[in-house]
């Protein structure tokens, strides 16, 4: 009977130890996932690219400056040069 009691105590101790390890590993995995989410920058949707009519530089359409006849330019200086020519 004494050995059965010792076996039961050892079994409970091992069960508690394993349960705590599982919780610690789960918490560590969640922390790693949170850190990974914070490290990765949010990537926006793709943007349409246009070509500067003066120098040929490709740039996002949102950053381009409209010119005459539907032409687009990368800067105000190129727009002035493009309209003068």
C-alpha closest to that of 52 among 41, 66, 69:
66
User: What pairing do the DSSP bridges indicate for beta strands 65-66 and 72-73?
Assistant: antiparallel
pLDDT per residue as tens digits for the range 4-43: 999 999 999 999 999 989 989 998 999 988 888 787 677 7
pLDDT per residue as tens digits for the range 33-81: 888 878 767 778 899 999 999 999 999 999 999 988 889 999 999 999 8
Is the pTM of the predicted complex or chain greater than 0.75? no
Asked if 83 and 68 count as a contact pair (C-beta separation under 8 A), the reply is yes
């Amino acid at each position: 009977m004494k050995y059965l009691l010792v076996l039961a105590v050892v079994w409970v101790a091992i069960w508690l130890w394993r349960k705590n390890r599982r919780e610690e590993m789960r918490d560590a995995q969640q922390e790693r996932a949170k850190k990974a989410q914070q490290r990765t920058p949010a990537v926006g949707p793709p943007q349409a690219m246009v070509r500067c009519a003066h120098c040929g530089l490709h740039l996002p359409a949102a950053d381009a400056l409209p010119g005459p006849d539907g032409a687009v330019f990368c800067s105000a200086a190129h727009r002035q040069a493009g309209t003068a020519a």
